Structure 1
Amino acid sequence: MDMDTFISLDPTVIQTLDVSQVKGLLGSNLPELRSYENQSVVQTWISTRFQADLDYLGLGLKGGKADPTSVGVGTILLPSTSAGVAGGNGVVTTVAGGAGAVTTVAGGAGAVTTVAGGAGAVTTVAGGAGAVTTVAGGAGAVTTVAGGAGAVTTVAGGAGAVTTMAGGAGAVTTVAGGAGAVTTVAGGAGAVTTVAGGAGAVTTVAGGAGAVTTVAGGAATTASGGATNRPTFGLHLLLATLAVAVLYILH
């Protein structure tokens, strides 16, 4: 299809076409699109495409929408918030697969989840009432800070230090399979569990009334206001195996 035919199409139809469809329609005439970029129908189409998609055409077209925010080479996905701001009540999810540092900061009431597979440091900070989950498989330090009432879970398989700090009433769980120091600090009434399979120092500090369980392969310190569980050898072995399994799965 030549460009004169293309721009004569119903404008509402043109706006539904993605870059691959336009490329297929124009075929060998695709380079002509650049010379028609000032036509109103083409300008409108360009403005509704992501700039990265326009770059895929290799024509030097400019004026597309801003691409999704990148962290390392991963992408922050904010499915239930507006304008890419994680201050509302919606669910906040960060998924990153690159080597860069990954940070999730959320102040709303929705659940907050960070999943990172790269080597960079991973940090999740959440002040709302939703559940907070951090899953990291890389070698960087992993930190979860949560002030709300939801359950707080940190799962880390890398060698970096692992820190979980929670001030709410929800259950607090830290599972770490690497060699770094593991620290869990919880001030609420929920059960507190720390499982560490590496050789690093393991510290659990809990001020609430919930049961506190620490299973560690290295030196361990537990300070608790509630009942302290002392696992039997069988349970110790089971939980330590769980930590190693987490390391295997994440890697």
Structure 2
Amino acid sequence: MASKPSLTLIVAALANGGIGVNGSLPWRLPGDMRFFQQVTTFLGRRPDSAFPDDDEPLHDESDKNYRPMNVTIMGRKTWESIPPKFRPLKGRINIVLSSREDVRKDVISQSTPEAPTYAFSALDAALSNVGTIAHTNIFIIGGAQLYATALSHPLCQRIFLTSVQSPTAIECDAFFPSIPKDKFQIASPGELRRIAGSKCPSGTQSEKGFTYEFQLWTRISPSLAKGE
């Protein structure tokens, strides 16, 4: 019997959970964008690290050391927020969720060998079908409604959170839900580097007046949750 897939959420959020405003990110942080790209593209696929050398090609299917592509699952609004020249996300399997058949057909029509693209009506429908697609990890990349659904899903096992601090107040209209501390715990910086690789940036990062830190949250095992 095939094992059930596990879900990994990846998100950048303010302390109050703010992740977006008017359909866009409230910031442009190159370091965080690189983290997102490297983790969603390479995590689990390379024999050593999710963070290859700067001169290493982004995606090379001829490299037999690579495992199958990772999956990125997103809602329609997140898909549409990606600039067309970067859509679909290369080196990853793109799955878009939409209740609209016309949207699903349009999404599928944009599939390429470098970025296979699928569309389903809901998360559970996607998870029911993803087992037929060779893949390594499954990432949930937004937006707010999908994050909330995935965070409460029993298959959600970990969260890559970029904790962002803004120099001024930002009025967001999209939010990441509070992480339930009875179900998830923050991992040590060493554990983050063990999972993502020794080249994973650690500590406080500073860009464009913002400061941020990469965190890993993992699901607490049932025995620990019960205090055994």
Does TM-score exceed 0.5, indicating one fold? no
Q: TM-score range by the shorter chain?
A: under 0.3
TM-score (norm 1): 0.25
* Higher percent of residues as strand: 1
Q: Which has the higher contact order (CA 8 A, sep 6+)?
A: 2
